[in-house]
Structure 1
Amino acid sequence: MSSRPVYVPILKGKEGEFAALEELAGDVRTALMPVIETPAIPFDHAVGKPAKSLTEHVSGIPDRLKRSCGRRPFFLDLSSLDNGVRLDHGGNVSAGILSGCSNAELDVVPVILTSSTQEHLTAVANHHLSTGSALAVRLVVEDFREEVETDSEVDRIIARLGLPEATSADLIIDLKDLGSDLGRATLIARSILSMIPRKHEWRNIILAAASFPEDLSDVNAESTSLLPRLEWQLWKALQRKPASLPRRDLIFGDYSIAHPVTKELDPRKMRMSASIRYTTADDWLILKARNVRQYGFDQYFELCRLLTERPEYAGRDFSWGDRYISDCVEGTQGPGNATTWRKVGVNHHLTLVLEQIANSHREP
């Protein structure tokens, strides 16, 4: 990693998120460093089995990463595939993907969890030795429970990777879903931050959290709602007392416009509604229409019109996503599909959050 990132969003390795990264303005993409979570093999509910083999699923991952990230650095979390299942030729999944990334000359920083298998640790250690790449350790709330020896767990990982200390590694503290109680979340965050192992060794420490709901079923159809961005409010609360932080150079991370856990749903039974997830200063603005099976994707034209008439709309020149919204209103873009609107929402979100962080750094 050539420079310290300003922002670390955690993104699902799916087409909408990949495409959102591709459309970021150059200065925005340079300043952020995403954690990309490789998805599990999709399931074909019609035939009752995985849609493809493991080998087929992972074979295209390095190429897709190259198209979305180019030579810019990114974290890669392979935990959804780190389950002991091997590729068709008997190879290890992590080793195969990291080898493909190396061959594609990608600046990948592999992520390790306390639950990572020995095979994954070996693959990451070998990748580090052969490429000189940085590494990242990702700790979650459960890693800080009273009965867990967090320091010992981290020491074990560092030793297994063959590192003399943690100076060539980043630490990701992932609080995941904060729930609805900001006060409780703040107490938990402060407690965990006080227990960080080797806090002065890590090259960077990232604090990530989420508060977007699992789905929008609690939002009424044909309505406009505001959902609070509690992770951003938590970040601001922590920054107001910098002396209580383990380090002054903490880096902000979030889950963009998604919940940390991805539901595996049967598309035949889904009743997806047309909706736009639009990030504002302290909230997500949710504009929701009716289900697309019955009323179609053309509902997005009206949602875009409603959004552009609201004061929260940032203007067509703010991001690629905002330009797409404006073009829909003008009739020069089609209504797209669910992937299109994930791309639009994520692209706008990443641009806005980076601007917020930059502005907060300029405040006295």
Structure 2
Amino acid sequence: MFEVRSERDLTRVEPIVRKCVSWALRYRWRSITVAAGAMPQSISHLPVYTPTPLRRWDLQLWQRVWDLGIHYADYGIAHPGAAGAAWRPMPSLRYTHDEVWWIYRWPQGKTDRPAMYDLCNALVVSDHWHPEGRDFSWGDHQIAARAEGVGGPGNASNWHAWATSHHLAQVIDQIQRSGHADLRSNL
């Protein structure tokens, strides 16, 4: 379903999903998966030094149509389109929580201390840091280490890997908590 980023998109896409699944159920598919993405193509318009929630509209789509017995898939912490041009972004994390992603953006200051350490510290002391903390996923372990000033600050590829690791663990945990674990996710 590509990009679903608003209530309007959900209202438009849900009947399409239901129609497509109805068609697919007439055949002997081993499984049916609906995938959608909700992350914007760019987060550069979001404020800095302030965690900003973005709704996980892709998850809400699945919650509306899970009664069809479909599998869940998403584009993780990325926009469903092609990646943009390579450039050096400011330190940022896209941290998946139950209904939102928390977007953290910290510009590099004039000090020698990399901003990623302060960004990670802000995340680990927040209300939306996972209760299992560093033990929740490999990515959470990496974030907690940076919050303590351990290890290098990483780069955009590292930040993406840390956030993706957390996202995968969060989605699995959410599906298990939802009581729909039998509707496996396609991660």
- How many equivalent pairs are there? 177
Question: Structure 2 counterpart of 1:224, which letter?
Answer: P
Q: CA deviation at 1:340?
A: 0.5
SS in 2 for 1:281: coil
Q: Unpaired runs of 5+ in structure 1?
A: 1-174
Q: CA deviation at 1:220?
A: 1.9
- Which position in structure 1 is the counterpart of 2:14? 186
- Which position in structure 2 is the counterpart of 1:272? 89
Indicate yes or no: 2:23 matched with 1:195.
yes
Alpha-carbon distance in 2 for matches of 1:209, 1:350: 15
Indicate yes or no: 2:120 matched with 1:312.
no
**For residues 359 and 199 of structure 1, do their structure 2 counterparts lie closer, same or farther at Cα, with a shift above 3 Å needed?**
farther
Compute the TM-score of the two structures, normalised by the length of structure 1.
Answer: 0.45
How does 1:11-30 map onto structure 2 within 5 Å? none
**For residues 184 and 297 of structure 1, do their structure 2 counterparts lie closer, same or farther at Cα, with a shift above 3 Å needed?**
farther
Q: Does the 8 A contact of 2:88 with 2:156 survive in 1? A: no
Indicate yes or no: 2:32 matched with 1:205.
yes
Q: CA deviation at 1:279?
A: 0.2
Residue 99 of structure 2: which of 269, 276, 282 is its match?
282
How does 1:95-110 map onto structure 2 within 5 Å? none
Q: CA deviation at 1:358?
A: 1.5
SS in 1 for 2:80: coil
Q: CA deviation at 1:296?
A: 8.1
Higher relative contact order (CA 8 A, sep 6+): 2
**For residues 356 and 199 of structure 1, do their structure 2 counterparts lie closer, same or farther at Cα, with a shift above 3 Å needed?**
farther
Q: Does the 8 A contact of 1:179 with 1:185 survive in 2? A: no
Q: CA deviation at 1:199?
A: 3.6
How does 1:226-245 map onto structure 2 within 5 Å? 226-239=53-66, 242=67, 245=68
Residue 329 of structure 1: which of 147, 151, 156 is its match?
147
Q: Does the 8 A contact of 2:48 with 2:106 survive in 1? A: yes
Please list every run of at least 4 consecutive aligned residues from structure 1 whose deviation after the TM superposition is greater than 6 angstroms. Answer: 293-297
C-alpha distance after superposition, 1:269-324 (max 9, x if no partner): x462211110000110001112x598888110010110011111011111111111
Alpha-carbon distance in 1 for matches of 2:113, 2:155: 7
Q: Does the 8 A contact of 1:214 with 1:262 survive in 2? A: no
Compute the TM-score of the two structures, normalised by the length of structure 2.
Answer: 0.85
SS in 1 for 2:28: coil
**For residues 302 and 285 of structure 1, do their structure 2 counterparts lie closer, same or farther at Cα, with a shift above 3 Å needed?**
same
SS in 2 for 1:341: helix
Q: Unpaired runs of 5+ in structure 2?
A: 182-187
- Which position in structure 2 is the counterpart of 1:299? 115
**For residues 214 and 277 of structure 1, do their structure 2 counterparts lie closer, same or farther at Cα, with a shift above 3 Å needed?**
same
SS in 2 for 1:277: strand
CA RMSD of aligned residues (A): 2.3
C-alpha distance after superposition, 1:110-144 (max 9, x if no partner): xxxxxxxxxxxxxxxxxxxxxxxxxxxxxxxxxxx
- Which position in structure 1 is the counterpart of 2:185? none
Q: CA deviation at 1:360?
A: 1.7
**For residues 251 and 295 of structure 1, do their structure 2 counterparts lie closer, same or farther at Cα, with a shift above 3 Å needed?**
farther
**For residues 296 and 230 of structure 1, do their structure 2 counterparts lie closer, same or farther at Cα, with a shift above 3 Å needed?**
farther
- Which position in structure 1 is the counterpart of 2:177? 359
Alpha-carbon distance in 2 for matches of 1:295, 1:274: 14
Alpha-carbon distance in 1 for matches of 2:137, 2:166: 6
Q: Does the 8 A contact of 2:117 with 2:148 survive in 1? A: no
- Which position in structure 1 is the counterpart of 2:184? none
